[in-house]
A and B are shown apart, each in its own frame.
Chain A
Amino acid sequence: MTESLLTKSLTLSYGDFNIIEDLNLSIPLNEITVLIGANGCGKSTLLRSIARLLKPKKGSVLLDGEDIFKLSTKQVAKNLSILPQSPVAPEGLTVLQLVKQGRYPYQSWRQQWTEKDEEIVLSALKATGTEHLQDRPVDELSGGQRQRAWIAMTLAQDTDIILLDEPTTYLDLTHQIDVLDLLFELNQQQKRTIIMVLHDINLACRYADHIITVRDRGVYRQGKPEEIMTTDLVNHVFDLDCQMTTDPIFGTPLCIPYGKGRKI
């Protein structure tokens, strides 16, 4: 079991331009954490760097107290998986072949399909509802099916920590809820740590135990949605005027943006 995931004076940059500066952040484990912020604020960059896909300019990401870049990458892969933003599968690769790749960190050339591999791949397919698609090429699926196939691959990696970069992009509302419900269940039943970037503030408030708002090269505020999500915060983080109310069904904060539109 992973015990801690922190960033220590982390500075991230593309070229000379710093995107995140000197950030100390502790990710709560066994919870769902959602990163929100305006476009281009660096939330995806932060997520990528936590998943060691981006080398920090300064500082480090610590997994159980150890620099994630000093650990063997396979070791990290058994603790932490990331689903990148809109990944592309090779032409003609079937869903089963894709999901199977999730088992890579556990395999060697002669052990490519143990009973455990099979069990976990099957349950990943089942959990994402992609069983019936397993023989279809990924590049021929619809956007929602494709995204679920990729999530299945991430699940097959069987890690305590799952990072997802905008997992609901390109999905219709039904499939957005499907995917988030799936992640919610994984968290509830198996206590997996989920860290994701979402664009929809209201869905973020509903599913997240912990929200991290990113602004001005750092974290603006973090905490439970019901404690931190205020009109002021949304105004500051997104430059958006809105009114905060309470979701009539879930009781979580609900953001209603001002703007134009029909009034009845």
Chain B
Amino acid sequence: MILKNNYSKMIALLVGVILLLLSMGISIVYGYANTSIQTTYESFRQFNNSNEHLIIQNVRIPRALIASCVGASLAITGVLMQTLTKNPLASPGILGINAGAGFAVVFAMIFFHISSLQSFAWIAFLGAAIAALSVYGISFSGRDAVTPVKITLAGAAISALFASFTQGLLATNEAELDQVLFWLAGSVQGRKLEILLSVLPYLVIGWIAALIISPKMNILALGDDVARGLGLRLGLMKILVGLIVIFLAGGAVAIAGPIGFIGIVVPHFARKFVGTDHRWLIPMAALLGGILLLLADVAARYIIMPQEVPVGVMTAMIGTPFFIYLARKGGKK
């Protein structure tokens, strides 16, 4: 199934882009109030303040944009983390991003009674950054070099630590549980375009940086010793990857809360299509991540209409069957 030559990979990427645009269209058009492409077009040409146009401009379009950006960012960080730790189980969650963000939000909510999504964004970003930096801090201290296993274990420990604090706070403050549960499951609902715009610079920097370092990721994937032998500055590279992950995954969690499944699974999907060359893998993962999150978000509107399911729940439900199929289909290893 893995595409061999660059020509077919190019076509796969192109198909990905078309599917992404299509998914964005579906996301804008379908929902509790169905609209149409034509109305969408009109809302740009001649905005008439009708309900439909308002929904499209203020709700649907921001939501579709947010879902694609968040999905793409999470998928890219998944690829980076799996290569960095040489562990197929790694995801941005392993750097403590989700646990840190979750803890910060719950903490702020309980002790400072903050509850607006806008302020959640910055608090989550801060929490994610602190958690990731402490994982890095721990990995870089100590006498021996930063090994993949060390980052992994330090990350797992820090994540567990923050997650347990969060659970502790929630178990002792039941009233807040209901409010924050939806945030903790991850969702792109009700986010304003401003939230995306304020985080977008970080995401864009992250995307570009990820693409720029993708040839070097190929070298990093060969193992620390070989990479060093080939002249890669390992320490610097690892810090750079860490920063990109903080920008992208921190940004994503700030907008949408911790969405778990995409970071682990989409990289595996993408690898099945374009193989392990990061120059193809990173864009492919980004496209697939965006598509998966968009479609999951559409599905999330329909499952228990008029209520919505958090999109983090839907990504897992849609992604799991596919993933099991792929994991079984793959050759022996």
Taking CB atoms, residues of chain A closer than 8 Å to B331 are 14-15
In chain A, what residue has the closest Cβ to B149? Answer: A91
Tell whether B332 is near chain A: CB-to-CB under 8 Å: yes
Q: What's the Cα separation between A14 and B331 when bound, in Å?
A: 9
Cβ contacts B33-77/A at 8 Å (1 or 0 each): 000000000000000000000000000000000000000000000
**A 3-23 to B, binary, CB cutoff 8 A, 1 in contact else 0:** 000000000001100000000
When distances are taken between beta carbons in the complex, the residues of chain B under 8 Å from A15 are 331
Give, as a whole number of angstroms, the nearest-CB distance from B240 to chain A: 28
- Contact bitstring B137-152, A, C-beta under 8 A = 1, else 0: 0000000000000000
Q: Interface readout for B311-333 with A: 1 if CB under 8 Å, 0 if not?
A: 00000000000000000000110
| Chain B contacts for A14, CB-based, 8 A | 331-332
- How far is B331's CA from A15's CA once the two chains are assembled, in angstroms? 8
Q: Which residue of B lies closest to A15 (CB)?
A: B331
C-alpha gap A14/B332 in the complex (Å): 9
Task: Tell me the number of A-to-B contacts counted with CB atoms below 8 Å.
Answer: 3
Interface bin, chain B:
under 10
Report the Cα distance A245→B332, complex, angstroms: 43
Give the A interface residue count (CB, 8 A).
2
Interface residue SS majority, chain B: loop
Shortest beta-carbon distance from A55 to chain B in Å: 11
| Closest-CB distance, B260 to chain A (whole angstroms) | 28
Closest to B331 in A: A15
Cβ distance B93 to chain A, nearest Cβ, rounded Å = 24
Chain A min CB distance to B13 (Å): 27
Query: Which residues of A1-49 are within 8 A (CB) of B?
Result: 14-15
A90 to chain B, nearest CB (A): 13
Query: Which residues of A lie under 8 Å from residue B332 when comparing CB positions?
Result: 14
Nearest-Cβ distance from residue B330 to partner chain A, whole angstroms: 11
The distance in angstroms between the C-alpha atoms of A14 and B330, with both chains bound, is 12
Closest chain-A Cβ to B148's Cβ sits at a distance in Å of: 13
B40 to A: closest C-beta gap in Å: 47
- What 1/0 flags go to A97-122 for Cβ under 8 Å of B? 00000000000000000000000000
Q: How far is the CB of B180 from chain A (nearest CB, A)?
A: 39
In the assembled complex, the CB of A2 is this many whole angstroms from the nearest CB of chain B, namely 29
Q: How far is the CA of A261 from the CA of B331 in the complex (A)?
A: 42
CA distance A38 to B250 in the complex (A): 50
A91's nearest neighbour on chain B, judged by CB, is: B149
Tell me the smallest distance from the CB of A54 to a CB of chain B, in Å.
10
- Chain B: minimal CB distance from A215 (Å): 25
The smallest beta-carbon distance between B122 and chain A, in angstroms, is: 41
How long is the Cα–Cα vector from A136 to B80 in the complex, in angstroms? 35
Contacting A at CB under 8 A, from B281-333, are: 331-332
Name the residue on A nearest B332 (C-beta): A14
**Minimum distance in angstroms from B224 CB to a CB of chain A:** 15
How far does the alpha carbon of A145 sit from the alpha carbon of B77 in the complex, in Å?
Answer: 39
* Alpha-carbon gap, A15 to B333, bound state (A): 12
Q: How far is the CA of A174 from the CA of B332 in the complex (A)?
A: 36
Q: How far is the CB of B144 from chain A (nearest CB, A)?
A: 12
CA distance A220 to B331 in the complex (A): 29
**Closest chain B CB from A158 CB (angstroms):** 31
A15 to B329, CA, bound (A): 11
Residue of B nearest to A54 (CB): B332
Annotate A195-212 by CB proximity to B: 1 below 8 A, 0 otherwise: 000000000000000000
A15 to B332, CA, bound (A): 9
Compute how far the CA of A139 lies from the CA of B331 in the bound complex, rounded to whole angstroms.
29
CA distance A118 to B223 in the complex (A): 39
Complexed CA–CA distance, A15 and B330 (Å): 11
**Minimum C-beta distance from A86 to chain B (A):** 14
CB distance from B14 to the nearest CB of A (A): 29
Chain B min CB distance to A187 (Å): 33
Q: With the chains together, A14 CA to B333 CA distance in Å?
A: 11
Q: How far is the CB of B150 from chain A (nearest CB, A)?
A: 12
Bound-state CA distance A116–B298 (Å) is 68
The minimal Cβ–Cβ distance linking A44 to chain B, given in whole angstroms, is: 15
Assembly CA distance A34 to B165 (angstroms): 61
A251 to B332 Cα, complex, angstroms: 44
Q: Tell me, in angstroms, the Cα distance from A144 to B119 when the chains sit together.
A: 59
CB distance from B237 to the nearest CB of A (A): 25
Alpha-carbon separation in the docked complex, A15 to B1 (Å): 13
Shortest CB distance B145–A (Å):
15
Rounded to whole Å, the gap between the CB of A53 and the closest CB of chain B is 12
Question: Which residues in B have some Cβ–Cβ distance to A below 8 Å?
Answer: 331-332
Could you show 3 A-B contacts with beta carbons less than 8 Å apart?
A14-B331, A14-B332, A15-B331
The 3 tightest CB contacts between A and B, nearest first, are: A15-B331, A14-B332, A14-B331
